[in-house]
Structure 1
Amino acid sequence: MKSWLFSSFGLMLILEGLMPLCFPEGWRETFRKLIKMKSGQIRFMGLMSFLFGLIFLLLGR
């Protein structure tokens, strides 16, 4: 269980780091757009991301 958790967290950090590493200006512009969004819109995006991640995890089992 611990190994799976650390591997998943490591993969998440790798994927999260690709955008600022390869496209720093695009990453910065994305955050400028996020700042202008309403809280409800950001929560909805977070919910969708959470649900898709959960579905991928369940399909990968």
Structure 2
Amino acid sequence: MTWILLALGLVMIVEGLAYALAPSLIERMLEALRALPEAAIRQLGLLIVVSGLILVWLAWQLGGSFG
């Protein structure tokens, strides 16, 4: 449970920094996403999920247990 809270906290920090430091960039990214077809957005989402799983696995291998 601790590692879930850690992961959520890190996501919130990164997301918050993006909105705080580059709000116009976020707007441009959202406009670009609106122009993409739904299938491309879905593939991008799946790619991000797989990348996240790889990073979690790598962190687990390098650091041992999160608990």
Q: Same fold (TM over 0.5)?
A: yes
Larger Rg: 2
TM-score, normalised to structure 1, is 0.91
Structure 1: tracts of 5 or more residues without a match = none
Number of residue-to-residue matches in the alignment = 60
- When the two chains are superposed, the root-mean-square deviation of aligned CA atoms in Å is 0.8
Question: Are 1:39 and 2:38 matched, yes or no?
Answer: yes
1:31 partner letter: L
Offset of residue 20 of structure 1: 1.2
Flag the structure with more relative contact order, 1 or 2, with Cα contacts below 8 A and sequence separation at least 6: 2
Runs of 4+ aligned residues of structure 1 deviating over 4 Å after TM superposition are none
Structure 2: tracts of 5 or more residues without a match = 61-67
2:49 partner letter: F
Offset of residue 11 of structure 1: 0.4
